[in-house]
Every structure is written in C-alpha cells, then in structure tokens.
Amino acid sequence: MSKTTKQVDEVVIRFAGDSGDGMQLTGGRFTETTAIVGNDLSTLPDFPAEIRAPAGSLAGVSAFQIKFSSKDIHTPGDKPDVLVAMNPAALKVHQKDIAPGGIIICNANAFTPKNLKFAGYETNPIEDKTLDDYYTLYSVEMGKMVALANEDLGLPPKTIERTKNFFALGLLFWIYDRPMEQTQDWLKVKFAKKPDIIEANIRAMDAGYNYGDTTEIFTTRYTVDKANLPSGEYRNVVGNHALSMGLAAAAERSKIGLFYGGYPITPASDILHTLSAWKHLGIKTFQAEDEIAGVTAAIGASFTGNLGVTATSGPGIALKCEAMGLAVIAELPLVVINVQRGGPSTGLPTKTEQSDLMQAMYGRNGEAPMPVLASSTPGDCFYVAYEACRIAVKYMTPVMLLTDGYLANGSEPWQLPKLEELPDFNVTFADESNLADGQFLAYARDEKTMARPWAIPGTKNLEHRIGGIEKEDLTGNVSYDPDNHHYMVETRAKKVDSIANEFGPTEVFGNPSGDVLILSWGGTKGACRSACEFLQADGKKVSHVHLRWINPLPKDLGEILIKFKHVLIPEINFGQLIKIIRSEFLVDAKGLNLVRGKPISSSDIQESVNALIG
C-alpha cells in the first residue's frame, strides 16, 4: 500500500499512561532520537504525586510531552497534535488538551470494563464514536501485539505486557520517520544482564514500527526537517542535570571544593542524585537529616573554604530561611537552589509553579538581601548555576537560584559548552598578606566588590571569630552600636545592588518601544518569546524582555519599561514579579497569572496581549 509523506514544521506529542506504563521512559527515548535527527525540541514531563497510585486510576496517570520542530522553538507546546493514551484514565485526563483535529492513539487492550469504570467512563470512548467528530482515533491492540511478537521467548506474560510502551514508541518512530538504532543500543546497555528483556523490547518496538508501515490504518507519515540551530556540537539536556553540571563546572574552574548539603525533595532530588555520582570530581555530597542541616552544613563548608551549595523546593526553602540570614550576616558564599513546585504547603509537589519568588526575595527575618536569579530553559540551568557560584564567591554572599519543576525535568537540545570559555572564576583565600599591623580585619572590604576576605581555618595567623550577631565594621567583632548597625545594614544592601554593575545592557527582543512589553522571568521565557514572535509576525508592536536577575534588577530596566504603553508580566503565580516592578518603577504593569501547575501557554499570552491593545 502506498503511504504519503507530509512535511510539517512542528509537532507536539503527548505520551500518557499509567505510572506503571513507562511513559517517562518512552518520552525520554523519543526525545533523544529527535535530538539526534537535529530538530529543535522542548519537553515537559508530568508525574503524579503518588509513587504509584492504583493502576488505572486518574491519579496514577503519568505523561510526557515533546514538541519538536525544524524551527527554533521555546516551549513544549500548548496543545498536542498527537496523544498516545495507554489506558482510559490517560485518555480521560488528557483528551481535552488535544488540538482539534488531532490524532489519538489508544492501546485498545487497556480499555477493559474495569479500567473504563475506574476512569469514570460509562461507555467505551474508543467505540462509542464520541471522539470521532473532533479527532482522528487509532485504536491499536498493543497488548495483544506485543504478546504475539514475543510468544516464543518464554517470558512471563506480565513482563511481555510491559513492553507495550516500546510498541507505541516504534509506531511513533515510524510515523515521524525516526531511526531506531539509538534506542536499540540504549536497551542493550540498560539491560545488559537481561538479554530476554532487550529482545522483547526490541521486538515490541519493531512490531510497532512495522505496524505503521504495513497495516492500512496509518496512511500518512510526517517528516520534520532539521532545525537551523547555530553550528556546533549538541546533546539533549534535562534541567536538573544541566544545573548539576553548572555547579561542577564552577568548582572545576574556581578550583575550590564543591560541598553539597541537601535533603531529598521533589523535584530537586535529582540534583543530589547527580552530584553524588560525581565523586571522581572530588565533589562532596551530604544527605543531611533535614533541610536545616543541609544548608547549615553547607555554610560550615563555606566557612572552611569549600563552596557550599544546597538545593530544595519551596517547603524546604521555608526551613532554610533562618540559616540564609546567617550566611547574609556572616558574608559567606552559599548557593541556595529552589526548584519550585506547586504550593502552598505540600501543595502540588510534582507540578510546576513560580510562586516562591517573593519568598526568595523576602523570606528572611530582618534586612537580609540576597541576590536572586532564575533559569529560563533546561539548558540555561547550566549557566545560571555557574553564574550563581561565581557571584556568591566574588561578593561573599549567599545567592538564591530559582528554577522550577518544568525546567528541572524538561529538556532541550543543547550546544556543548566549553569549560575554558566560561567567565573567569578565580578565588584567592586570605593569607598573612591580609594582616594590617599584625591584625586581621575579617570585615575589611574589597574596594570594587565590597566583599570581605575569605580566611579559612587552617590558615596561619588569621584566626578569627564570626557569628550571627551584628558585626562591627572592619573587625567583625560583636557590636551593638546603633550607627554601626545602620551602616552594616546599608552596606550589605549596597553590596548586593552593586552586582548590577556587571550586567551588560538588557536585551529587548523586538523594537525598543511599542505597545506592549512582555516581561518575564524563569521558565515562562519560552512561552513569552514564542507569543512575542507570533504577535510580531502578526504586525503587532510587541517586544519581550526576559530577566535573568531579579535582585538586583538591571539598571537600564526602568528606561526600557517606560518606552511601552503596556507592560504585561505573565507568571505562574498570583502576581509576584509584578509587585517588584510596580513598586520599583511605578509602572502600571498588568499580570497574566495562571496557577494550574503547568506552564503558561504561548496562546494565553497572545490573548492577553491582544486584550491589552485590542
């Protein structure tokens, strides 16, 4: 039978199934292959909060979305073109998001009366034709087919049934014309000790591919050309991994030890996992008894000349606030990473949100300013982590680095950075040359950076004591003097503000003036950029500024803002950056605030912009 091949610019696929169905893995393999064929891409995993909710339940649905394109893209996509639904619950949860006219591929074998009831379906949606008006439905007996393909292997039926995700993967590979070699190789490494399992999965994948190729059901294949990315060597990278590499790169370039003190919490745990596997780089990881011990151990390590780092999510940050205040007054380097998730309290632990910005800015007692910066894409996590470390040490200050669940688990193609091309990062510990008339002044400051000297235990003749009570200027001794206190409060604030002197001019995407400026921070960058591109293409006078640094803000931001009639600030919170911007610049910025545990979509932003100027 002849099949047509259609060329398209971009595709959004969502894999959805039970937690036990291996959707993250399927999505991950599809992503790796898509990266290698040279598309630009962006991914969005979406886990349930339960380890494994009852099989077939709505709470147990796990999903993975990928958008890939021949163009430069910024988001994992708003509405999937294709939904792979491995069971009724997956269909139920995700169907409403599918683009009208989209494709739904279901594992028919999972649409049993029991599963249907569990998902709340009264009739079987893949049979009752209710979907046909809106979508192209492919109902495939994946379970049956993998059973047939693997009949002779002598594996338990349950084990064979579990390969059905590879069937789905194979089918998708066929539809989007992607090679299977990388996945075959990957299976061989992953299950090196279990040749049966390798074989069963490869057969399942082949079966899926061949199913597409052979049967008459699928008539169209799609090709997506290579994206026109800047030349260089690329890999696919996940945010938490990139962040960990950024920390390690900082340690290597600065030649100071990296000490990570942390306590597991979703979605930050992978940073601990990743760093703890890099012992050969000399990295020390310490799984502490709680978040407080994690951050305080890191502070102890910083006092001793390591770079202390800790990562957690919102509730864990709440616990670390007191200790951050100590690092502020002790003027020790420290990097605190918040991989934000849905709040308040335990909230939506596996979902993304940007609602800890105010906590990052102000969550400490007293006047305790900390530099705050945020990552904008999975790959950017590498650079902000490096930057956070560099600033922490250069200015002797704790730094707060914000990412979020979407950035942490999402991925994108990423040009391999070269260590030696990263910004300089030299560290000099104090030594006897710092003595002034034989006295060591622990709070004397560098003229340019206002940083105090880093004098670490083990250094001869620099013995000194610091602590959390207000310190006397220069000596660092305890001081209750009122004027000294005011001076020190002011000095700590100035030191943080002075970091802005390092920033280059703020990049405005689009014209430097116009009707609407979209202002973003963190993981909403991609959606804002792509909305802006659409609107500009549509002839609208819209520009986009993305903030890497929230504290301090770039010095030129005020001048930029006033050149626009409207300022729109999309955030996955109830309005946080907007408070800072309004207060700082007295501009009547408007917010687009959607708190649904998932990225704001480019189309939401376009609508908001249109409403402003419409």
Ligand X SMILES: Cc1ncc(C[n+]2csc(CCOP(=O)(O)OP(=O)(O)O)c2C)c(N)n1
The CA distance from 4 to 175, in Å, is 11
- Kindly provide the b/e burial profile for residues 308-338, where b requires at least 16 CB atoms within 10 angstroms of the residue's own CB: bbbbbbbbbbbbbbbbbbbbbbbbbbbbbbb
**Residue 588 binding: pick among ligand X, a copy of itself, other proteins, none (C-beta 5-8 Å cut-off by kind):** a copy of itself
The CA distance from 138 to 516, in Å, is 43
| H-helix or E-strand spanning residue 136 | strand 136-140
**Residue 5 in 3-state DSSP?**
strand
Exactly one of 159, 459, 498, 513 binds other proteins (CB under 8 A); which one? 459
The CA distance from 368 to 320, in Å, is 13
318 makes contact with a copy of itself (CB under 8 A): yes
At closest approach, how far in Å is the CB of 587 from a copy of itself?
A: 8
Exactly one of 22, 28, 48, 405 binds a copy of itself (CB under 8 A); which one? 48
At closest approach, how far in Å is the CB of 50 from ligand SF4?
A: 8
At closest approach, how far in Å is the CB of 562 from ligand X?
A: 42
Contacts (CB under 6 A) with ligand SF4, residues 49-68: 51-52
Residue 513, exposed/middle/buried by CB under 10 A (0-12, 13-18, 19+)?
middle
**Using an 8 Å Cβ cutoff, are 334 and 298 in contact?**
yes
478 makes contact with ligand SF4 (CB under 6 A): no
The CA distance from 475 to 472, in Å, is 6
Binding mask 269-298 for other proteins (x = CB under 8 A): x--xx--xxxxxxx-xxxxxxxxxx--xxx
Exactly one of 264, 347, 417, 558 binds a copy of itself (CB under 8 A); which one? 347
* Radius of gyration for the chain, computed over Cα atoms and rounded to the nearest angstrom: 27
- ∠159-162-163 over CA atoms, to 5°? 105
Cβ proximity to ligand SF4: between 52 and 114 the closer is: 52
Sequence-distant (≥ 6) Cβ neighbours of residue 504 within 8 angstroms: none
1 makes contact with ligand SF4 (CB under 6 A): no
Contacts (CB under 6 A) with ligand X, residues 262-301: 263-265, 291
Cβ proximity to ligand X: between 105 and 339 the closer is: 339
**Residue 432 binding: pick among ligand SF4, a copy of itself, other proteins, none (C-beta 5-8 Å cut-off by kind):** none
Cβ proximity to other proteins: between 192 and 416 the closer is: 416
**Using an 8 Å Cβ cutoff, are 205 and 149 in contact?**
no
316 makes contact with ligand X (CB under 6 A): yes
The CA distance from 438 to 276, in Å, is 42
60 makes contact with other proteins (CB under 8 A): yes
Exactly one of 216, 230, 428, 480 binds a copy of itself (CB under 8 A); which one? 480
**Using an 8 Å Cβ cutoff, are 305 and 256 in contact?**
yes
**Residue 574 binding: pick among ligand X, other proteins, a copy of itself, none (C-beta 5-8 Å cut-off by kind):** a copy of itself
**Using an 8 Å Cβ cutoff, are 522 and 378 in contact?**
no
Exactly one of 257, 300, 315, 417 binds ligand X (CB under 6 A); which one? 315
User: In angstroms, how far is the first alpha carbon of the chain from the final one?
Assistant: 51
Length of the chain, in residues: 614
Contacts (CB under 6 A) with ligand SF4, residues 22-51: 51
343 makes contact with a copy of itself (CB under 8 A): yes
Residues that bind ligand SF4 (CB under 6 A): 51-52
Residues that bind a copy of itself (CB under 8 A): 48-49, 59, 313-315, 317-319, 321-322, 325-326, 328-330, 342-349, 351, 353, 355-356, 358-359, 361-368, 467-470, 478, 480, 482-483, 485-486, 489-490, 492-493, 573-574, 578-580, 582-584, 586-588, 594-598
Residues that bind ligand X (CB under 6 A): 263-265, 291, 315-316, 319, 346
